[in-house]
Chains A and B, each alone.
Chain A
């Protein structure tokens, strides 16, 4: 088991290295002078020079990179050009809404998509199955902001059940916070469920034709027991994998959803930073999101051994 964990950790190193280099180089990929790009079109030469000096853009590229790495080592992501605050602090301030949204969405997705997929596979070919698959293909096809505005229109503007936009911090109580996140997390969960329900259905469908399912049924195990204990447990690895892989599109979806619902999270921070050409913030946010994504997928890899002991023993 320890060897398995070790191998996984080592495999992550080159990926993290690539992300760090790519995010650093991003600013230098643009044609022309990065300082002029950040300053904008109407900047005076003095302003451009000031930005160049502040971001050390006048140093050689390699020296800049080492400086950036050294700062990263102390979790220093530089300062925002726009507000002059440390990027790490800006991210820390915005992390709560995004984290809450991610948790709410994942919980909703798992509660909805996994049973939907299992039932669709069990009643394969039925109306229910077709309904689940239609929902899945729609989730892939409707942009998350269109779903978001449709939900706002129905539940906030027409029915007045829920607030139109905004976020209530957790400090003000769990219920108001969850209420403010209900519509955005439903919008995101529809997107995420499309992926998860489809994989859950496909995997369970395949497992249901296995010999051990027939054996279980022949021995008189009741349907819920067969579905939950025999089928779903063995479908665990693909389902958890797709949740990990889907996290990338979930992060993209959160950036959009936070803009639609006016949630002051990391997604909004990203969009605002792009608008202000605040590249230290953009780099910081991209790096943070990427590291989160890598860690989530690492945890997914490690969780395999919970579902499938063969993986645990293979590492020995």
Chain B
């Protein structure tokens, strides 16, 4: 917790302490999180430019354990796991970022509409309840298998089950705010509804939405890996952590490194994103932070 702001003698009792949100010194966890995320973003940008040969098959180097030649070992076709993991980081980050963005946009749209227009609310929210009643992973694998493989299909399939939660969050913010004086004041001076929603209500949800988007990003990265692992994710010609690990399923007893290295990297990345989400939440909403821990 931040120390009480230093105050001049005699002033402390009369001047209320300003709300301090930013410029608190970041903790070790945040620094570690930023470092991990930053490193992996750099890898995701640079690796595909440097490593070109991550597909060629080398039967002489099948299932080699990690060593000086192949840092992460090789798979059943003699492909270098290190190269494929580095290149595959791009796919995970792209999926995570796109799903977080798409979920937030759709969630804001549905949430604002449902929260502000009573008529639409009950229908839309029952539909959201219904969607939440279908287990997300099942819905996603069914959607991918129906829409056909491809990076964009995977992004759509992971986004769809994530939207209801964000929509509910936005709706709850709208429901609390629409009764407050500043909104009724805006209505009474004739502000148009879209303007009220976008300039008066939405800015108050930005904090909660950012935190939510971080968690969505983290769970989307896991979901992509799960889909690819089950064989219905990113197409095999695009290296992704899930794809690399899917290959390792059949050879796990012989070559545990095929799942091990990408698995550890994936977990570290998601852990970093979740840690950042937690500390962001603590900063934006001290009350929530006290309730939800960390």
Contact = CB atoms under 8 A, between A and B. Distances in A.
A274 B144 CA distance: 10
A277 B138 CA distance: 14
Interface string B139-150: 101110111100
Interface in B249-267: 249, 252-253, 256, 259-260, 263-264, 266-267
A298 to B, nearest CB: 11
B60 interface: no
Contacts of B142: 26, 274, 282, 286
A287 B192 CA distance: 43
A248 B259 contact: no
Given A18-B126, A293-B133, A149 B147 contact: no
Contact of B259 (A30, A149, A270, A294): A149
Contacts of B263: 142-143, 145-146, 149-150
Contacts of A285: 138
A255 to B, nearest CB: 6
Contact of B253 (A19, A157, A251): A157
Interface residues of A, number: 59
A153 B256 contact: yes
Interface residues of B, number: 51
B253 A198 contact: no
Interface of A: 14-19, 22-23, 26-27, 29-31, 37, 120, 133, 136-138, 140-146, 149-150, 152-153, 157, 164, 198, 201-202, 205-206, 248-249, 251-253, 255-256, 259-260, 270-271, 274-275, 277, 282, 285-286, 289-290, 293-294, 297
Interface of B: 126-127, 129-139, 141-143, 145-148, 218-219, 222, 225-226, 229-232, 245, 249, 252-253, 256, 259-260, 263-264, 266-267, 270-271, 273-275, 278, 290-294
A143 B266 contact: yes
Contact of B232 (A260, A274, A286): A274
Contact of A22 (B134, B253, B274, B293): B134
A145 to B, nearest CB: 6
A198 B270 CA distance: 18
A133 B293 contact: yes
B274 A141 contact: yes
Main DSSP-derived SS at the A contact region: helix
Contacts of B245: 145-146
B129 A270 contact: no
Contacts, number: 163
A37 B131 CA distance: 24
Given A256-B226, A256-B230, A146 B267 contact: yes
A225 to B, nearest CB: 24
B37 to A, nearest CB: 13
A77 B110 CA distance: 33
A255 B259 contact: no
A219 B197 CA distance: 52
20 contacts: A15-B133, A18-B126, A18-B130, A23-B134, A26-B142, A29-B143, A137-B275, A141-B271, A144-B226, A145-B229, A146-B259, A149-B256, A164-B253, A198-B292, A252-B136, A259-B229, A259-B230, A270-B141, A271-B141, A274-B230
A293 B135 contact: yes
A146 B229 CA distance: 10
B226 A143 contact: yes
Q: Ordered nearest first, which 6 A-B pairs have the shortest CB separation?
A: A18-B130, A252-B137, A146-B263, A141-B271, A141-B270, A30-B146
A290 B129 contact: no
